[in-house]
């Protein structure tokens, strides 16, 4: 679409940066946020940790071998959500067309703003103002910003500007930027498509540009083939969506110990089905398709789904289908992850004609105690998790450095105090309490500001082992 100007903003190493901001003793040091157990996965690594080869989605066990002296923290979603809310609120003061992609990333259509999109120098100054304002409001976070004529170009520009930089591209500069890059930078080109293109001798965008539309259509079909050809020449007409369409809602649990008890797995699916149904209800949506995912002890993953002859938000119906699907899975060798999800969503109920709840059925057991999951439990003062905010009646605010053998080690500091002392306390010390994250000044002074609903980020991807969305 001619004349469009799109901004892409990506907060730098978001989760880890929030931790470094709030914990002065970690600034400039390797910090890794994610699952801290043996089966954990890295959600975000600070730039200091990335020098050791640690990156998101890496096994925490491998990360510990590569960076044994890094700080490993379980994560604090409340703190991340607050900073994200502030950033998204700032972007909405610029343009009404803001499309959040996650807690730390968003597109902004500047064509709908008052920004000087036709003046490159003034536009660059506006971007500099945005980055400075963001840093001030979040009390120290940084972001990389890219500006171009499309989503594709603005995202590539922000990637090129990382970390803590900005790149504003004129339309005449865009094709030269994308041509030498790997073909995997094109949206929709994942590992499978990359492999198919490699068989055609295509590894870079410049090589992709040499293939004709007919060749690409013959290999990938009309829609994808024509799309690849357009994107290879930096032609991207995707609009910035003010409200992103929710395509699926899911909930997963990763267990600290493998489960072989089918009844216990069924209970967990029933519990997660209720959580999924609650999210459907909050969104005013109904699901036609229900599915489950099961990961075995050997990491093999099994998934199945069933499409109903109607659409539902009924937790009993979702749970019943999930448990029916579970019957087809062997669990005797142990299950390490189970999840339930819904898709094929609609905004109108279409009740099934021949389904009724199983009154009194024992197929969906209702229990309150399930297997321990690798997820932080807020408010449980007997379980001290590294990174957790705490307060002590005598020593003030701090955070958990580590715990074990009846002892909890706390560093007493906040982002306002500078590096603080470390003290070892009894894990059952009655003066030690779990605390909420220290609020940002802008949040305290503007409680009624228009902030982003966290479900916007949770529902599309489920939860990771620690209830985090990778950043």
- Is residue 208 assigned to a domain? yes
- Is residue 196 assigned to a domain? yes
Q: How far is CA 362 from the centre of its chain?
A: 36
Q: Are residues 306 and 332 in the same domain?
A: yes
What per-residue confidence (pLDDT) applies to 298? 79
- Is residue 339 assigned to a domain? yes
Do residues 128 and 76 lie in contact, with contact meaning Cβ atoms separated by under 8 Å? no
Single out the residue in 346, 378, 409 at which a domain terminates.
Answer: 346
- Is residue 62 assigned to a domain? no
How many structural domains is the chain composed of? 2
Q: Both tokens of residue 259?
A: 């489960």
pTM of the shown model: 0.72
Residues 6+ apart with CB under 8 A from 136: none
- Is residue 193 assigned to a domain? yes
Q: Are residues 254 and 228 in the same domain?
A: no
Dump pLDDT digits (tens) for 176-195: 999 999 999 998 888 888 99
> What separation in angstroms does the CA of 327 have from each of 277, 282, 292, 432?
21, 30, 11, 46
CATH number of the domain to which 205 belongs: 1.10.150.20
- Is residue 400 assigned to a domain? no
What per-residue confidence (pLDDT) applies to 113? 93
Q: Are residues 265 and 322 in the same domain?
A: yes
- Is residue 263 assigned to a domain? yes
Q: Are residues 220 and 259 in the same domain?
A: no
Do residues 148 and 6 lie in contact, with contact meaning Cβ atoms separated by under 8 Å? yes
CATH number of the domain to which 257 belongs: 3.30.1490.100
Q: Are residues 200 and 277 in the same domain?
A: no
Residue 317 φ then ψ, to 5°: -65, -45
Q: Are residues 263 and 337 in the same domain?
A: yes
Task: Determine if residue 334 is left, alpha or beta; phi over 0 gives left, psi from -120 to 50 gives alpha, anything else beta.
Answer: left
What per-residue confidence (pLDDT) applies to 374? 35
Residues 6+ apart with CB under 8 A from 417: 24
Residues 6+ apart with CB under 8 A from 104: 10, 11, 14, 80, 84, 87, 471
Determine the structural domain holding residue 325 and report its residue range.
248-346
What per-residue confidence (pLDDT) applies to 446? 54
Single out the residue in 346, 368, 394 at which a domain terminates.
Answer: 346
Q: Are residues 221 and 277 in the same domain?
A: no
What per-residue confidence (pLDDT) applies to 382? 44
**Torsion sign over Cα 14, 18, 23, 25:** positive
| Residues carrying an active site annotation | 105
Q: Are residues 227 and 252 in the same domain?
A: no
What per-residue confidence (pLDDT) applies to 2? 53
Q: Are residues 263 and 342 in the same domain?
A: yes
Q: Are residues 226 and 271 in the same domain?
A: no
Single out the residue in 197, 232, 267 at which a domain terminates.
Answer: 232
- Is residue 338 assigned to a domain? yes
Q: Are residues 294 and 335 in the same domain?
A: yes
Rounded Cα–Cα distance for residues 387 and 401 (Å): 6
Q: Both tokens of residue 172?
A: 């005449």
Q: What is the 3 state secondary structure string of the chain?
A: CCCCCEEEEEECCHHHHHHHHHCHHHCCCCEEEECCCCCCEEEEECHHHHCCCCCCCCEHHHHHHHCCCCEEECCCHHHHHHHHHHHHHHHHHHCCCEEEEECCEEEEEHHHCCCCCCCHHHHHHHHHHHHHHHHHHCCCCCEEEEEECCHHHHHHHHHHHCCCCEEECCHHHHHHHHCCCEHHHCCCCCHHHHHHHHHCCCCEHHHHHCCCHHHHHHHHCHHHHHHHHHHHCCCCCCCCCCCCCCCEEEEEEEEEEEECCHHHHHHHHHHHHHHHHHHHHHHCCEEEEEEEEEEECCCCEEEEEEEEEEEECCHHHHHHHHHHHHCCCCCCCCEEEEEEEEEEEECCCECCCCCCCCCCCCCCCCCCCCCCECCCCCCCCCCCCCCCEEEECCCEEEEEEEEECCEEEEECCCCCCCCCCEEEEECCCCCEEECCCCCCHHHHHCCCCCCCCCHHHHCCCCCCCCCCCCC
Q: Are residues 328 and 284 in the same domain?
A: yes
The list of the chain residues with pLDDT below 70 reads 1-2, 243-245, 348-382, 445-471
Rounded Cα–Cα distance for residues 74 and 35 (Å): 6
């Amino acid at each position: 679409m001619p004349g469009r100007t799109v901004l892409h903003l990506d907060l730098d190493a978001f989760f880890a940066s929030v931790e470094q901001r709030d914990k002065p003793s970690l600034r400039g040091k390797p910090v890794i946020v994610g699952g801290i157990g043996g089966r954990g996965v890295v959600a975000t690594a600070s730039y200091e940790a990335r020098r050791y080869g640690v990156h998101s989605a890496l096994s925490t066990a491998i990360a510990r071998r590569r960076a044994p002296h890094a700080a490993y923290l379980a994560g604090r979603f409340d703190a991340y959500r607050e900073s994200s809310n502030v950033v998204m609120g700032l972007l909405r003061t610029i343009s009404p067309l803001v499309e959040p992609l996650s807690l730390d990333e968003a597109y902004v259509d500047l064509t709908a703003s008052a920004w000087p999109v036709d003046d490159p120098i003034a536009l660059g100054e506006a971007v500099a103002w945005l980055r400075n304002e963001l840093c001030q409001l979040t009390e120290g976070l940084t972001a990389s910003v890219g500006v171009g004529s499309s989503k594709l170009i603005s995202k590539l520009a922000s990637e090129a500007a990382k970390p803590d930089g900005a790149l504003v591209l004129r339309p005449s500069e865009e094709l030269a930027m994308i041509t030498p890059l790997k073909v995997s930078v094109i949206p929709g080109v994942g590992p499978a498509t990359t492999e198919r293109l490699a068989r055609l001798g295509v590894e870079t965008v410049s090589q992709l540009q040499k293939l004709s539309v007919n060749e690409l259509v013959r290999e990938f079909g009309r829609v994808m083939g024509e799309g690849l050809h357009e994107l290879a020449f930096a032609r991207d007409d995707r609009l910035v969506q003010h409200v992103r369409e929710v395509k699926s809602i899911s909930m997963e649990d990763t267990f600290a110990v493998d489960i072989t008890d089918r009844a216990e797995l069924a209970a967990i699916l029933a519990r997660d089905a209720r959580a999924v149904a609650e999210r459907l209800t909050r969104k005013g949506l109904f699901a036609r398709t229900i599915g489950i995912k099961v990961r075995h002890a050997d990491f093999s993953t099994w998934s199945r789904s069933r499409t109903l002859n109607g659409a539902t938000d009924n937790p009993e119906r979702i749970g019943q289908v999930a448990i029916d699907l579970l019957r087809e899975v062997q669990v005797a060798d142990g299950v390490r992850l189970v999840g339930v999800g819904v898709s094929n969503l609609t905004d109108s109920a279409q009740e099934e004609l021949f389904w009724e709840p199983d009154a009194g059925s024992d197929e969906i057991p209702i229990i309150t105690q399930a297997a321990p999951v690798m997820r932080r439990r807020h408010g449980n003062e007997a379980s001290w998790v590294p990174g957790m905010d705490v307060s002590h009646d005598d020593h003030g605010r701090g955070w958990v450095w580590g715990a074990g053998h009846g002892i909890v080690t706390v560093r007493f500091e906040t982002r306002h105090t500078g590096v603080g002392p470390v003290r070892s306390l009894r894990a059952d010390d009655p003066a030690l309490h779990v605390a909420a994250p220290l609020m940002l000044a802008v949040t305290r002074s503007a409680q009624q500001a228009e902030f982003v609903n966290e479900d916007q980020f949770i529902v599309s991807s489920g939860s990771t082992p620690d209830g985090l969305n990778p950043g």
